[in-house]
Amino acid sequence: MAVYISELKFENSDDFVEIVATDNEDLTGWTLAVYNEKGTLFSTHSVGGVDSTRAGNEGYLVTRADGLVDVGQSWGVALIDANGNTVQFISHKNPITAQNGPAAGQTSDINFYNVTSGGQSMETTDGGASYAVQTSPNPGTIPCFAAGTLIDTPRGPCPVECLKVGQRVWTADMGDQPILWLSRTQVRFAPSDGLNRPVLISATSLGPGIPARDLVVSAQHRMLVGEAGQALAAFLEPRLVPVIALTGLPGIRVMRGRKAILWVHFALPRHAIVRADGCLTESLLLGPVVRRGMAPAERSRLDAMFGSALRSRYRNGPPARPIMYPDAAIARIRQVHRQY
């Protein structure tokens, strides 16, 4: 579907519903209806204006700041278009038949059972056909570098916002590789964005001279640890870890005061370890969540570039290093803290 609920977080103080429009649809007059487990309409909310534009898609967020209630785990939400038609109706645990309101008489057609805590969300990677648990909710995010980050290239460090398709960058394992795909996104942050804000990795916080200066990346951007002098005290083996899971380390924090940022992300023929501000990190891994955030034409163009990988989960995979999920990384850091 061209418009769908892409992520839903409930049972928490920072509940949100993220909606994606993939073909530049005008969502003026669209609403989100919240139903309790008995099918009674609890509240309705305007979808509002575009919160972010990502790789040709438009993202809309309905949050607690917009009046969204503390959605219960047995509740459901319906996406209603400007003509009053129900575009999507999803619920947790059990199907819900709406007794009143804009979705009256209709039954939720997608149900999920896996959320176990208020810190998790449900996210789709197939355009709203199915949903899976996301242990680190990430409304509107994609792994990115902040403008001003210096990326190592054969000709020396280059500001990430100055990179161009076809330009070569240094990689740890495959020599210099050309950029095949690149995107820039200007984002403004709302007070309700919470952990969706940029993360600051202060100079030397991962090791002596690593990074060489303050580095700013998006919360889901993965950093290399357990190798090349990076976070060796906490990680014994090479892993790629989302930076949001490293905020338990000194010198790494969420930038809650940042109002706006220009994000840049780029993909190489293969997922690779690159150097940013003297720190080893990843190029963009073209997995299902990233592809979900692309307009159909752009997705088709990307598939043509990586045709040999069409049956793979990752268009330019496999990952350059084993990926460690946030919960495991956080537990590892806590274990190290207890030891000292």
Q: Which of 17-21, 61-65, 196-200, 230-234 has the lowest mean pLDDT?
A: 61-65
Residue 57's alpha-carbon distances to 86, 296, 300, in angstroms, are: 21, 9, 14
What integer is the mean pLDDT of 293-301? 69
Q: DSSP for 104-121, please give it.
A: TT-B--EEE----STT-E
pLDDT of residue 239: 97
pLDDT of residue 177 exceeding 70: yes
Q: What percentage of the chain carries pLDDT values higher than 70?
A: 80
57: confidence class by pLDDT, cuts 50, 70, 90: low
Q: What is the mean pLDDT of the chain?
A: 84
Contact 314, 75 (CB under 8 A): no
pLDDT tens figures, 130-140 = 776 665 555 54
Token output for 153: 């290239």
Residue 333's alpha-carbon distances to 27, 31, 247, 278, in angstroms, are: 43, 42, 10, 23
pLDDT tens figures, 282-295 = 999 987 667 666 66
pLDDT of residue 56: 46
Q: Which of 21-25, 28-32, 75-79, 336-340 has the lowest mean pLDDT?
A: 21-25
What integer is the mean pLDDT of 199-213? 97
Please count the other Cβ atoms lying within 10 Å of the Cβ belonging to residue 77: 27
Q: Which of 54-58, 115-119, 122-126, 261-265 has the lowest mean pLDDT?
A: 54-58
91: confidence class by pLDDT, cuts 50, 70, 90: confident
Which helix (DSSP H) or strand (DSSP E) does residue 298 occupy?
Answer: helix 296-305
Greater confidence (22 vs 6) lies with: 6
- What are the residues whose beta carbons fall under 8 Å from the beta carbon of 161, sequence distance 6 or more? 147, 148, 184, 262, 264
What integer is the mean pLDDT of 62-70? 75
What is the phi-psi region of residue 31: left when phi exceeds 0, alpha when psi lies from -120 to 50, beta otherwise? beta
Bridging pattern class, strands 3-9 and 16-21:
antiparallel
**Does a cis peptide bond (omega within 30 degrees of 0) precede residue 318?**
yes
Greater confidence (292 vs 318) lies with: 318
Greater confidence (91 vs 271) lies with: 271
pLDDT of residue 145: 94
What is the phi-psi region of residue 268: left when phi exceeds 0, alpha when psi lies from -120 to 50, beta otherwise? beta
What integer is the mean pLDDT of 272-286? 97
Contact 26, 298 (CB under 8 A): no
pTM confidence score: 0.63
pLDDT of residue 160: 96
Token output for 260: 């706006």
Contact 314, 330 (CB under 8 A): no
Bridging pattern class, strands 86-92 and 110-112:
parallel
pLDDT of residue 173: 97
pLDDT of residue 308 exceeding 60: no
